[in-house]
């Protein structure tokens, strides 16, 4: 049954799960960007209530396991919880990812939690926009906590995480030298550090390592906690939930944080907008911005032409 955007919006408002899923499919699919955008514009006024939690960290540290446990526990305190998992784009890992995802989805579904995975489909800008839109749909639908799982690597992930109120960076013992690079990239954005797999050798050393690094990093009013988790016997989860809730309360009081998050929202929208416009560009409309024939004749390289066009449209980069 095809439904109009208006019907979908009504459904989201009523918390109807099919409308929610349909809306996320629409915002995820590049071919329905215009409809998706229409829906987001209509629901935006209903957003802003959910606490958005990003959980990021290298492959295999236990992010999905943590989210499964965390969402069940939040659910049992009466909160409505939704989870968005972002796929790795590498086709080589798809098999194992799929297995994990289905297991996780089943477990969550039994617990009455909404779970959705988004795939990157090649475009990093598109992924961050569709993730943000999916979060807005879930927020408007009345979920209290929305948890987003990403593998914390590269600019695409940082763009996605810009929407979160609270960012928990998960690590585990045995990452070796990798931990230095991860720390360097994620130290500034972390609100909470998690060391998972506390049942494993080296876990306490990994915790101490992060604590030592934090001691050397200037921190603002929020003192970044380091939480040890054992996801087998659930040790540490109460502390994690308390830290998350404290941090959510902390950021919600901060106008600076609201402005920063809105900046990221607008940036993602602008990136989507420019992608849309670039895709709609025809030969003749581009010829209005540069002299393509002349450029071909003079063998000007494409980067120079692109820079000239974007400069004439957007001005110089500061
Ligand atoms: N020993 C031990 N194993 C754990 C713990 N938490 C998770 N695991 C195991 O670690 C493996 C990876 O867990 P996932 O939750 O899939 O990790 P992930 O970070 O989501 O992995 P990707 O999504 O692939 O990046 C699984 O086999 C889990 O059962 C823990 O506290 N202790
Ligand atoms: Mg996972």
> Half-sphere exposure of residue 149, counting CA atoms within 13 Å on the CB side?
29
Ligand having the closest approach to the CA of 69: 1
d(CA 87, CA 85): 6
Residue nearest atom 3 in ligand 1 by C-alpha distance: 197
Cβ–Cβ < 8 Å for 19, 7: yes
Find all residues with CB under 8 Å of 18, minimum gap 6, and list them. 11
Find all residues with CB under 8 Å of 87, minimum gap 6, and list them. 94, 97, 117, 118, 119, 120
Residue range 47-123+130-254 in CATH 3.40.50.300: yes
In the reported structure, the alpha carbon of residue 85 is separated from the centroid of ligand 1 by a whole-number distance in angstroms of 14
Ligand having the closest approach to the CA of 58: 1
Provide residues with CB under 6 Å of ligand 1.
59-65, 100, 151, 196-197, 199-200, 230-232
Domain assignments of the chain as residue spans, ordered by start? 47-123+130-254, 267-314
Cβ–Cβ < 8 Å for 169, 56: yes
Ion ligand 2: residues, CB within 5 A, are: 63-64
Q: CA distances (Å), 106 to each of 56, 94, 158, in order?
A: 22, 18, 29
Residue 149: phi, psi to the nearest 5? -100, 125
Report which ligand 1 atom has the smallest distance to the Cα of 57: 19
Report which ligand 1 atom has the smallest distance to the Cα of 65: 15
**Cα dihedral 111, 112, 118, 119 in deg (nearest 10):** 40
Tens-level pLDDT at each residue, the chain (318 residues): 668 999 999 999 998 888 998 999 898 887 888 899 999 999 999 999 999 999 998 888 999 999 989 998 999 999 999 999 886 444 334 444 455 655 665 666 566 689 888 875 545 556 778 888 999 999 999 999 999 998 766 666 777 888 899 999 999 998 776 666 666 677 778 899 999 999 999 999 999 988 988 888 777 789 999 999 999 999 999 999 999 999 999 999 888 888 988 998 898 888 888 888 888 889 998 998 899 999 999 999 999 999 999 888 878 776
Ligand having the closest approach to the CA of 65: 1
In the reported structure, the alpha carbon of residue 61 is separated from the centroid of ligand 1 by a whole-number distance in angstroms of 5
Find all residues with CB under 8 Å of 139, minimum gap 6, and list them. 46, 47, 48, 49, 50, 52, 146
């Amino acid at each position: 049954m095809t439904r109009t955007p208006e019907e979908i919006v009504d459904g989201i408002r009523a918390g109807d799960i099919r409308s929610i899923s349909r809306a996320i499919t629409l915002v995820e699919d590049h071919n329905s960007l215009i409809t998706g955008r229409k829906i987001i514009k209509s629901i935006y006024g209903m957003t802003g209530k959910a606490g958005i939690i990003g959980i990021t960290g290298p492959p295999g540290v236990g992010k999905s396991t943590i989210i499964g446990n965390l969402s069940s526990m939040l659910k049992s305190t009466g909160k409505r919880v939704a989870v968005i998992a972002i796929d790795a784009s590498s086709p080589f890992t798809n098999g194992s990812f799929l297995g994990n995802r289905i297991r996780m989805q089943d477990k969550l579904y039994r617990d009455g939690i909404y779970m959705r995975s988004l795939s990157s489909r090649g475009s990093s800008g598109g992924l961050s926009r569709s993730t943000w839109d999916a979060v807005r749909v879930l927020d408007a639908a009345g979920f209290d906590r929305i948890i987003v799982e990403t593998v914390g690597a590269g600019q695409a992930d940082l763009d996605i995480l810009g929407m979160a109120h609270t960012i928990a960076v998960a690590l585990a013992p045995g990452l070796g030298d990798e931990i230095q690079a991860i720390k360097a990239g994620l130290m500034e954005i972390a609100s909470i550090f998690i060391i998972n797999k506390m049942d494993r050798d080296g876990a306490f050393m990994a915790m101490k390592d992060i604590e030592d690094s934090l001691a050397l990093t200037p921190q603002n009013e929020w003192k970044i906690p380091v939480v040890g988790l054992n996801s087998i016997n659930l040790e540490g989860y109460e502390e994690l939930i308390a830290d998350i809730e404290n941090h959510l309360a902390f950021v919600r009081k901060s106008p600076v944080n609201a402005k920063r998050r809105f900046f990221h929202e607008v940036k993602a929208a602008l990136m989507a907008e420019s992608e849309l416009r670039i895709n709609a560009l025809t030969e003749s409309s581009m010829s209005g911005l540069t002299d393509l024939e002349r450029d071909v004749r003079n063998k000007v390289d494409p980067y120079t032409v692109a820079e000239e066009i974007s400069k004439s449209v957007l001005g110089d980069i500061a």
